[in-house]
């Protein structure tokens, strides 16, 4: 499946052990006694959009964005994008059919999408008057060509699209209308087109070293692992944008502190996906504005439900009851987050806010006793490259010990993580960027889900899920999604212990970009950015 945008890489570093979060977690753990409460936690940082949203836009200037390096693997091709700095770059060059906004999506290259009868087929009406960077008009042929790429080999969005779209039936109805039939009804299908790997490329495009897009910025130069320069696409359909002349991405940073210093010294205007350690430091700096918003991004422990001992639902329930969630948020995310309740999709439509779980060590003990797993010993695999992962694993080991479960933490380097985690019955996950529950559940739990992290069996709840995904009636959909989430809440393999906030740093002059529930820096949409003098 296509990534939802993966979680930011922590600076895996020499500094990590001494990072404020790590040290904070240690100190708090020491001072906490046995209650496991989070009394000692610092006051949680308050959500804030960041830059002011008032003022009259001024044209001109260069917007400089700092991202952590993805090295030689960085690309400008939506089909291949997977390194961290790829997302903001391709989002600047290309547009999606629908774009992510707080709580859902809004039309971008599509003007509308209508479900035909059962939502098993969709008619996309495309925006007219849109120009590619080379001056050619945007038409249905571009969409058909892009869909053709999804249907083929080697496209990162292919597996997701191929599980959903009936490619044989895709038809151009006229120059700006396309019918897309699906393999099964999906009421929130347009939200799947908001994925970054699903950005629309030009009919016949094969050269992604000098890409031509419809995006608010056009290609000028690119050096993988170093930097890129894009110039404003003055005829961008967005109209309101086009304020800055130039957009520069500097992806030469390997250390988040250096990136934060670059912002403080005025060498950068935006640092997206700031580490919480640096955010806490920058929050005290009067020359920097911090944006901080809750969203659907989550941190979770993942149990593979077909592997012992997690094939016993009581063990899964016991582990969920052992987590001290407030402590997780305050100590592994420095307060930049909210407690998770083992469900994914906070802030998205149909998310079941009322299902919440509190720690209950006694109940956990008795469940384990019933299951014959007293004195359970587990290994928890964690990725040293992800924000807060090692801290969370270490803290969970302490918390689980209070319930008689002995957890040893296995640290895995980011380069080995994707290859090795499949063999780890208890591991960790972090997602961001899903625009709907359909997107997450279809890719993570659906019958043919390729990213089935929990190994949730295809037949279990398949009908529940298909029912919910296909329901066009809002009220009925709410009920059906509740049933899906209830099942996951009770039996699923995700221990979602926290929802992590999106946190970005801005120079005081930045306008037209904020941090909201859609993702870091408006989900990397810089089309409206301008610089106050």
Partner 1 sequence: MTARPQLPPLARFLLARLAGGAFTLLLAATLVFLATNVLPGDIAHAVLGANATPELVASVRADLGLDEPPHRRYLDFIGGLLTGDLGNSSAALAQGNVLPVADVIGTPLRNTAVLAAITFALFVPLCLVLAGVAASRVGGTVDRLLSGGTIAAAAFPEFLVATVLISVFFDALDWLPPLAAVPEGRTPLDDPLALVMPVTTLLVLCVATGFRLVRAAAVEVLAEPYVDWARLNGVPEATVLRRYVLRNALAPAVQAFAEVARYLFGGVIVVEAVFAFPGIGGLLVRGISVNDVQQTCVIATVLAVLYWAINTLADLAVIRLVPRLRTEASR
265 binds partner 1 (CB under 8 A): yes
174 binds partner 1 (CB under 8 A): no
6 binds partner 1 (CB under 8 A): yes
d(CA 150, CA 79): 8
207 binds partner 1 (CB under 8 A): no
372 binds partner 1 (CB under 8 A): no
CA triplet 386, 391, 394: central angle to 5 degrees?
125
DSSP bridge partners of 165: 182
Among the listed ranges 136-144, 373-381, 410-418, 524-532, the one in contact with partner 1 (CB under 8 A) is: 410-418
- Site track for partner 1 across 434-463, x = CB under 8 A: ----------------xx------------
366 binds partner 1 (CB under 8 A): no
d(CA 213, CA 218): 7
The 10 Å Cβ neighbour count of residue 177 is 15
Calculate the alpha carbon distances from 226 to 67, 196, 262, 282 in Å: 10, 21, 15, 24
Residue 273's SS3 state is: coil
Return the residues of window 238-257 that contact partner 1 according to CB under 8 A: 250, 252-255, 257
Number of residues that bind partner 1 (CB under 8 A): 54
By the 8 A CB rule, do 250 and 268 touch? yes
Return the residues of window 79-108 that contact partner 1 according to CB under 8 A: 80, 82-83
d(CA 289, CA 366): 49
262 binds partner 1 (CB under 8 A): yes
User: Quick one: 442 or 464, whose CB is closer to partner 1?
Assistant: 442
Residue 316's SS3 state is: helix
3 binds partner 1 (CB under 8 A): yes
226 binds partner 1 (CB under 8 A): yes
71 binds partner 1 (CB under 8 A): yes
Task: List, as one string, the DSSP characters of 9-76.
Answer: BP--STTGGGSHHHHHHHHHHHHTTTS---TTPPPPPPPB--S---S------EEEEEEE--GGG--S
8, 24, 45, 70: residue in contact with partner 1 (rule CB under 8 A): 70
410 binds partner 1 (CB under 8 A): no
User: Quick one: 14 or 129, whose CB is closer to partner 1?
Assistant: 14
Return the residues of window 308-327 that contact partner 1 according to CB under 8 A: none
269 binds partner 1 (CB under 8 A): no
Q: Check whether the bond before 235 is cis (ω within 30° of 0).
A: no
Element (H, E) at 112: strand 110-116
Tell the smallest beta-carbon distance from residue 318 to partner 1 (Å): 29
By the 8 A CB rule, do 503 and 292 touch? yes
DSSP bridge partners of 292: 48, 503
72 binds partner 1 (CB under 8 A): yes
107, 159, 181, 404: residue in contact with partner 1 (rule CB under 8 A): 159
118, 177, 227, 398: residue in contact with partner 1 (rule CB under 8 A): 227
> Where does this chain bind partner 1 (CB under 8 A)?
1-3, 6, 11-15, 69-73, 75, 77, 80, 82-83, 153-154, 156, 159, 209, 221, 223-227, 250, 252-255, 257-259, 261-262, 264-265, 267, 385, 413-420, 450-451
């Amino acid at each position: 499946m296509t990534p939802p945008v993966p979680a930011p890489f922590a600076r895996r570093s020499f500094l990590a052990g001494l990072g404020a979060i790590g040290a904070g977690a240690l100190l708090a753990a020491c001072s906490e006694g046995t209650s496991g409460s989070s009394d000692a936690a610092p006051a949680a940082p308050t959500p804030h959009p960041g830059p002011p949203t008032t003022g009259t836009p001024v044209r001109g200037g260069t917007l400089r964005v700092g991202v952590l390096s993805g090295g030689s693997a960085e690309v400008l091709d939506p089909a291949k994008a997977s390194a961290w700095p790829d997302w903001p770059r391709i989002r600047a060059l290309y547009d999606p059919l629908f774009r992510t906004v707080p709580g859902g999506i809004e039309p971008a290259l599509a003007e509308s999408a209508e479900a035909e009868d059962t939502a098993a087929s969709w008619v996309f009406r495309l925006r007219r008057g849109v120009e590619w960077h080379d001056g050619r008009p945007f038409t249905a042929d571009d969409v058909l060509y892009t869909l053709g790429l999804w249907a083929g080999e080697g496209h990162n969005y292919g597996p997701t699209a191929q599980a959903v779209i009936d490619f044989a039936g895709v038809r151009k109805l006229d120059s700006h209308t396309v019918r897309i039939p699906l393999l099964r009804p999906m009421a929130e299908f347009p939200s799947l087109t908001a994925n970054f790997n699903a950005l629309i490329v030009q009919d016949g495009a094969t050269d992604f070293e000098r890409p031509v897009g419809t995006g608010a910025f056009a290609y000028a130069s690119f050096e993988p692992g170093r930097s890129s320069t894009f110039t404003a696409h003055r005829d961008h359909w967005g109209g309101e944008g086009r304020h800055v002349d130039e957009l520069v991405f500097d992806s030469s940073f390997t250390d988040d502190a250096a990136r934060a210093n670059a912002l403080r010294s005025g060498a950068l205007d935006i640092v997206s996906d700031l580490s919480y350690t640096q955010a806490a430091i920058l929050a005290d700096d009067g020359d920097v504005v911090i944006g901080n918003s809750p969203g659907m991004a989550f941190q979770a422990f993942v149990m593979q439900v077909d592997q012992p001992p997690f094939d016993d639902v009581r063990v899964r329930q016991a582990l969920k009851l052992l987590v001290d969630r407030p402590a997780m948020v305050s100590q592994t995310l420095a307060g930049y987050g909210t407690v998770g309740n083992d469900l994914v999709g906070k802030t998205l439509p149909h998310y079941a806010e009322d299902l919440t779980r509190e720690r209950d060590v006694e109940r956990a003990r008795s469940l384990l006793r019933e299951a014959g797993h007293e004195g359970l010993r587990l290994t928890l695999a964690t990725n040293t490259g992800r924000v807060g992962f090692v801290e969370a694993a270490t803290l969970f080991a302490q918390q689980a010990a209070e319930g008689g479960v002995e957890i040893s933490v296995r640290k895995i380097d980011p380069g080995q993580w994707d290859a090795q985690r499949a063999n780890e019955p208890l591991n960790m996950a972090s997602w961001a960027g899903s625009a709907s529950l359909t997107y997450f559940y279809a890719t993570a739990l659906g019958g043919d889900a390729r990213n089935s992290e929990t190994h949730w069996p295809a037949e279990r709840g398949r009908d529940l899920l298909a029912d919910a995904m296909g329901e066009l009636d809002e009220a009925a959909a709410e009920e059906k999604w509740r049933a899906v989430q209830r099942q996951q809440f009770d039996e699923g393999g995700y221990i979602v212990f926290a929802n992590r906030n999106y946190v970005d740093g801005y120079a005081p002059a930045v306008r037209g970009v904020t941090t909201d529930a859609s993702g870091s820096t408006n989900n990397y949409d810089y089309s409206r950015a301008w610089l106050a003098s």
